[in-house]
A and B are shown apart, each in its own frame.
Chain A
Amino acid sequence: MNLEELEKSVNLMEDIQEIENLQRIYAYYFDLQMWEDIIDLFSDDAESVEIVDHGLFLGKEGVKKMYWGWIGKGIRSANQPWIQFIITQIGGVVDISPDGKTAWGRWQTWLCEAKPFGAFPKQEWLHGYYENKYVKENGKWLFSKLHWNNTFCSPFEDGWLKTPLMGLMNYHPTVKPDAPPTAFYPYPSGYHLPYHYNHPITEK
C-alpha cells in the first residue's frame, strides 16, 4: 500500500471510532435529559427521527419537536429527579459509504427507566434496536436519521412475556408528528428490523 491508501485506511477507522463515540455521547446526554445537547448532535439537514410509536418527525424541526417538545416536555435537563433514563448502547455495527460522507449504524439498547405512565410512576425495562444514519459535515460526524425500534416496554414487576407493551405512546396534545410510525411492531409480533448491511460472507 502507498501512503495515500494508508491514510484512507486510518481515516476510515477514525470515522468509525467517532461514530461509535457519537452514538454513546447521544445516550449519555439522554440519560441526563440534556435535550438541547442532543438536538445539537443532529445535522441541520437531518432527515428524520422516529422513536417508539411517537411517530415520524421530519427534518431538524422534527428533531427539535421530538426531543424538546415531546420527550423533554420543554424542560431543560433533569428537573424531576425521580425520572430516570438509562440507555445502554450495545453492539454497534457501523458501515461507512465509499465516498466517506455518510454512514449507517445498527445498535441495540437496553433501558431501565423510571417515568410517569398516566397517573403513576413506573419502573420499566425496555429493549430496542437502532438503524441510524450519520453524515459527515465540516470534518465532524452528526446524526442524519435516528430510528429507534422498540422491542418491548415492560413494567419491572411484570417482565416482557407477561406485559410486552405497557401501552401506546402515540398521542401528544400539542406535538404532532409528520406521519404515523413507519414500523411499530413490538414483541411478540416477530417483526425483524431490517439490516442496513448484507451478510459479510455470502453478501446476500
Chain B
Amino acid sequence: MATLEELQARITRLDDIKQVEKLQRIYGYYLDYFEYQKVVDLFSDNCESVEVADFGVYRGKAGVKRFYLDLLGGKPPRVGELSIGMIMQGVVDIDPDGRTAKGRWYCMSIEAKPTISLHEGELRQLWGNGIYENEYVKENGKWLFKKVFYFLNFRTPYEDGWLKVPVIGQHGSSSEVPPDAPPTNYAPYPSGIHLQPHYKHPITGK
C-alpha cells in the first residue's frame, strides 16, 4: 500500500496534467479573440521560444512578445476576420521532476483571413490543420508555457480542400518583424513528413 507521501506525489501529477490541459485550452480561447497580450502573459519569463508554421523561431520572452504582439497583433483585427483554433486530443506528460511537461495537441482551424499577406488583402475562408508539440514549466505552483511549436499540416481555401490546394497564405518569415532564426521544421502536406510524438510508446517504451 502506498504511503501518504507517495499518494501526494501521484495526486500532484494528476493535478499537473489537468492544469496543463487547462492552460493549453485557455491559450486557444485567447487566440480565438486575438487577445495577444493575454497570450504573452501565459508564457514564462524564462521561456524558450515560439515557432508557428513558417514564420520562423522567436526566442525568449522578448521574441514571444514580438511574435504575438508585433507580428500577429501588428494590426487590429478587421471586420470579418476570424481565426478559431479548436485545440484537442491533448497527450500531456509531466517530467519526473514535476517541474516541466510536454504536450501534443491537434488543432483544427476555422478562419477568415487575408492570404496575399498577413494583414492586407481580401478575406478568404480557410480550413487549417496542424499539430502542437509544446513544453510547459511550473513556476511558483503555476504552469506556464515554456515553448510553443506548431507544425502546419494544411491551410486550404474552403472552396478547394487540402488535396487541391494544400497551403495558402504562408509567406515565410516577416521582414518587418523578423524571427531570430529560420523555421526548423516546416513540411506541410503533402510532404509525407510527420511530426513525431514527444513521448515513448506506453507499452514497448520505444
Contacts and interface: CB of A to CB of B under 8 A. Distances in A.
Do the two chains touch directly in the complex (Cβ atoms below 8 Å apart)? yes
Interface of A: 1-3, 6, 9-10, 13, 16, 88, 90-94, 106, 108, 110, 127, 151, 159-162, 187-188, 190, 192, 195, 197, 199-202
Contacts of B29: 91, 93, 106, 108, 195
Contact of B125 (A93, A151, A161): A161
B15 A9 contact: yes
Nearest to B125: A161
A108 B158 CA distance: 20
Interface string B100-131: 00000000101010000000000111000000
Interface of B: 4, 7-8, 11, 14-15, 18, 22-23, 25-26, 28-29, 32-33, 38, 41-42, 77, 79-82, 84, 86-88, 108, 110, 112, 123-125, 142, 144, 158-159
A94 B86 CA distance: 16
B14 A13 contact: yes
Contact of A188 (B4, B7, B79): B79
Given A108-B86, A187-B82, A202-B38, 9 more contacts: A13-B14, A159-B158, A161-B124, A162-B125, A188-B80, A195-B29, A197-B26, A201-B41, A201-B42
A135 to B, nearest CB: 21
A153 to B, nearest CB: 13
A99 B88 CA distance: 29
Given A9-B15, A190-B77, A190-B79, A200 B42 contact: yes
Contacts of A110: 86, 108, 110
7 contacts: A90-B86, A110-B108, A160-B110, A161-B158, A187-B112, A199-B41, A201-B41
Given A127-B84, A160-B82, A201-B142, A93 B25 contact: yes
A132 B11 CA distance: 27
Pairs of residues from A and B, 6 with the lowest C-beta to C-beta distance, nearest first: A161-B125, A159-B158, A91-B25, A188-B80, A159-B125, A161-B112
